[in-house]
């Protein structure tokens, strides 16, 4: 199957700092990538849709100025959590659509963010 790489897998930061998470499609090009957030014992919640070469589309209730998304190439999307606070601590997961492989969405392994 297609591989989506997410980095880092785990990050701890101080409150007020910014954290960047990378999502790469390793063996296919992805014009669309997605960013999810998952709190403990809850399901995945879609945060935004990242479109290559254009602005991301955010879900209702997600602050676009706090969660900056950049999709500068067909294989890379980044999510920057700006001025992180303890309530932003969560499991962040990206996914990418493989248009060639029946448009199946493949997921990264996730990034666990802990804000102190």
Partner 1 sequence: DAKTTQPPSMDCAEGRAANLPCNHSTISGNEYVYWYRQIHSQGPQYIIHGLKNNETNEMASLIITEDRKSSTLILPHATLRDTAVYYCIALHEKLTFGTGTRLTIIP
The two structure tokens encoding residue 42: 């809850």
Give SS3 for 105: strand
Burial of 74 (C-beta count, 10 Å sphere; 0-12/13-18/19+): middle
Q: At closest approach, how far in Å is the CB of 67 from partner 1? A: 17
Q: How far apart are CA 46 and CA 37, in angstroms?
A: 7
C-beta of 45 vs 74, nearer to partner 1: 45
C-beta of 66 vs 112, nearer to partner 1: 112
Q: At closest approach, how far in Å is the CB of 70 from partner 1? A: 20
Burial of 54 (C-beta count, 10 Å sphere; 0-12/13-18/19+): exposed
Q: At closest approach, how far in Å is the CB of 10 from partner 1? A: 10
Q: Which residues bind partner 1 (CB under 8 A)?
A: 1, 4, 6, 34, 36, 43-46, 49, 91, 93, 95, 102, 104-110, 112
Q: At closest approach, how far in Å is the CB of 14 from partner 1? A: 23
């Amino acid at each position: 199957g297609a591989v989506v790489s997410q980095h880092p897998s785990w990050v701890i930061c101080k409150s007020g700092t910014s954290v960047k998470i990378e999502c790469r499609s390793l063996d296919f090009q992805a014009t669309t990538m997605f960013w999810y957030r998952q709190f403990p014992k809850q399901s995945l919640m879609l945060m935004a849709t990242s479109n290559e070469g254009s602005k991301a589309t955010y879900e209702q209730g997600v602050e676009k100025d706090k969660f900056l998304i950049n999709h500068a190439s067909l294989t890379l999307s980044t999510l920057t959590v700006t001025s992180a606070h303890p309530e932003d601590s969560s499991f962040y997961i990206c996914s990418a659509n493989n248009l060639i492989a029946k448009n199946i969405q493949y997921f990264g392994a996730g990034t666990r963010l802990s804000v102190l």
